[in-house]
Amino acid sequence: MNRTAYQHAYRRDGGYVLVAMMALVAAMLGTGAAFMQWASDEAQQSQRAEAGMQAYYVAQTGIIEKGLDWLNHQQAGVLPRTDQPLGDGDVPGVGRYRDVLVAPVFGSLADPNNFSFTEKYRITAIGEVDVPWWDNEGQAEMDTIERKAVLYVQVRSFVDYMYLTNFETSITFPGDIIRFFGRDTLWGRTHSNDWIATQNVGGLPVFYDIVSTTKPSFHPTSPNPAGQFWGGAPKFNAAPVLLPELADPIRSGANQQGKFYFEEGMEWRGVIDGTTAHFYYYPEGTEFDTIVPPPQYTVDCASEPKPCVFIDGKLDLKGVMDAVGCEITIGCSHDIRLIDDVMLQGTNMTNGELPIAALGPTGSIIGIVSENWIYIANTWENGRENRTGQTADHADIVITAAMVALRGSFQLEQMNDIGDNYIGPNPDERGNIVLTGSNTQWNRGYVHRSNQGGTGYNKVYHYDYRFKYRRPPCFLGATDDQGRALFNMVQWGQASEEPVDINRSIPLRVRYN
């Protein structure tokens, strides 16, 4: 009996094992199926993610091939003020792009004119990539993955360069090559259409931003290395930057605003005071102080946003502007003489550091453009005769502005040369040029000479980095030698589809890539 019971138990256990084995197999099959489904889903998700990346880069291709290329071929004076749809295209073997659009960015939708236009463009495109997709029944279908790319560009302006010249030689002394020396430090972008020459005197000059020249190297007489380049290796054989003969944007803007001033037989003095600029005219050849009071025009930045003023005649200029609330450009058909500081209130008069208030979005900006020369006048306020008897604030000249001398130079006046009607003391060191801004000139000019044991000014030059984002009104755009506009890339990324995309006064939301 014991054996019978034993055998009965054995057969019963075997049944349990069989059932357990079948359950285990079923569980494994279910798990395997689930795992296969999960793996399939993961593969599809990975494939779609890859397609999304491809679609984004296809959209970027459309921006470059159609949008940016089209903009780069436009003449600076006829850039579009309305949307420019540029169509579709293919990236063979990858996908296609569509709806390439170049759209100007306005400061205000209600007033899309030359004064609210920020000279920025938004280029957008949608990229499409097809990817297979399996439904719940395992049937393969094709799905289209879309991504939108956006690029913001800004018309390059002369204020994008801290230092820009057409020639590095002197007009006053033809053949003289004006060099950078050890005490010269340039904080902003530097470009010349000529040979840039340096000399190792007191060390090498220091450049903290891009240095470029149309020539294949620095001037052959420069040392090797030619300087200390903290902004990257110099760029040789660069495209030239054209300097026009006339300041047409300022002339045009002043005409539109009713601020183009001409009086026959008169010369001019401009005096900036707070948020106003007074422009006096008086007979040529007379002394300003003998005319009481001379006729005048007054421009009020507080009530006339972003004024552009053009003086047809000679202009002496000075003044202190409030740190906030004013953006003004002053153009002139003839020479401009800086007879005293032209600066923002609160600027550090030793190192040119701007007051904190000026760094905000309403900080004041000054543009000074001459179609000829810009001179540092040899006045007592500017350190005349070796700063004899001058107070500290009159020992130098402080300039907070973007300056352009289209067919001349930025140069000191009366350099104690043979033939000058002025011969000063020995030495005749007049202090520092404390410049926070930018300096563009047709030919590079002298601001210091060795005459009389030293004549002129030391340079304390800093770039006004606000110019990266803001420009003086009606200012000159930089072009190549064919007159085509040049552009800076401002922002690049993948765009989100949100209502702000419709409002041109609000930047499109961008996810940086």
Q: Are residues 460 and 493 in the same domain?
A: no
- pLDDT digit string, tens, across residues 227-265: 999 999 999 999 899 999 999 999 999 999 999 999 999
Paired tokens of 181: 């020396």
Q: How high is the mean pLDDT of the chain?
A: 85
**pLDDT for residue 107:** 58
Q: Are residues 375 and 496 in the same domain?
A: no
Say if 164 falls within a structural domain. no
Q: Are residues 275 and 371 in the same domain?
A: yes
pLDDT beyond 80 at 44: no
Q: Are residues 499 and 390 in the same domain?
A: no
**pLDDT for residue 513:** 43
What confidence category does residue 132 fall into, taking pLDDT thresholds of 50, 70 and 90? confident
Q: Are residues 441 and 508 in the same domain?
A: no
Say if 165 falls within a structural domain. no
When divided into structural domains, the chain yields a total of 2
pLDDT beyond 50 at 147: yes
Tokens 């204020």 sit on residue = 159
Tokens 């019971």 sit on residue = 5
What confidence category does residue 13 fall into, taking pLDDT thresholds of 50, 70 and 90? low
**pLDDT for residue 100:** 95
SS3 letters across 345-381? CCCCCCCCCCCHHHHCCCECEEEEEECCCEEECCCHH
In angstroms, rounded to a whole number, what is the distance separating the alpha carbons of residues 510 and 500? 11
Q: Are residues 391 and 499 in the same domain?
A: no
In angstroms, rounded to a whole number, what is the distance separating the alpha carbons of residues 255 and 245? 18
What confidence category does residue 485 fall into, taking pLDDT thresholds of 50, 70 and 90? confident
**pLDDT for residue 20:** 55
**pLDDT for residue 1:** 44
Average pLDDT on 14-32 reads 54
Q: Are residues 31 and 131 in the same domain?
A: yes
Most confident of 56-65, 418-427, 488-497: 56-65
pLDDT beyond 80 at 109: no
Range(s) of the domain holding residue 315: 245-474
- pLDDT digit string, tens, across residues 390-406: 665 667 999 999 999 99
**pLDDT for residue 125:** 94
- pLDDT digit string, tens, across residues 287-325: 888 877 888 999 998 888 899 999 999 999 999 999 999
**pLDDT for residue 24:** 54
Query: Strands 140-155, 487-495: parallel, antiparallel or unpaired by DSSP?
Result: antiparallel
Say if 199 falls within a structural domain. no
Q: Are residues 137 and 286 in the same domain?
A: no
Going by C-alpha positions, the residue among 190, 122, 127, 185 that lies closest to residue 158 is 190
Query: Which helix (H) or strand (E) is 277 found in, with range?
Result: strand 276-283
End-to-end CA distance of the chain: 83
Q: Are residues 387 and 446 in the same domain?
A: yes
pLDDT beyond 70 at 504: no
Average pLDDT on 44-53 reads 81
What confidence category does residue 106 fall into, taking pLDDT thresholds of 50, 70 and 90? confident
**pLDDT for residue 167:** 97
Average pLDDT on 325-352 reads 96
- pLDDT digit string, tens, across residues 208-234: 999 999 999 999 999 999 999 999 999
- pLDDT digit string, tens, across residues 360-383: 999 999 999 999 999 999 999 999
What confidence category does residue 491 fall into, taking pLDDT thresholds of 50, 70 and 90? confident
What confidence category does residue 134 fall into, taking pLDDT thresholds of 50, 70 and 90? low
Tell me the sheet residues that pair with 141: 133
List the single range of 16-30, 220-234, 391-405, 475-489 with lowest mean pLDDT.
Answer: 16-30
Residues 310, 246 contacting (CB under 8 angstroms):
no
Paired tokens of 67: 């949008």
Say if 257 falls within a structural domain. yes
Say if 308 falls within a structural domain. yes
Say if 194 falls within a structural domain. no
**pLDDT for residue 425:** 93
Say if 77 falls within a structural domain. yes
**pLDDT for residue 246:** 94
Q: Are residues 398 and 494 in the same domain?
A: no
pLDDT beyond 80 at 73: yes
Q: Are residues 497 and 437 in the same domain?
A: no
- Residue 30 vs residue 125, higher pLDDT: 125
Q: Are residues 460 and 505 in the same domain?
A: no
- Residue 171 vs residue 479, higher pLDDT: 171
**pLDDT for residue 108:** 41
What confidence category does residue 35 fall into, taking pLDDT thresholds of 50, 70 and 90? very low
List the single range of 189-193, 339-343, 351-355, 501-505 with lowest mean pLDDT.
Answer: 501-505
Share of the chain above pLDDT 90, in %: 61
Say if 303 falls within a structural domain. yes
293 cis-preceded (ω within 30 degrees of 0):
yes
The DSSP secondary structure of 54-118, one letter per residue, reads: HHHHHHHHHIIIIIIHHHHTSBGGG--SS-EEEEEEEETTTEEEEEEEEEEEES-TT--STTTEE
Query: Strands 448-449, 455-463: parallel, antiparallel or unpaired by DSSP?
Result: antiparallel
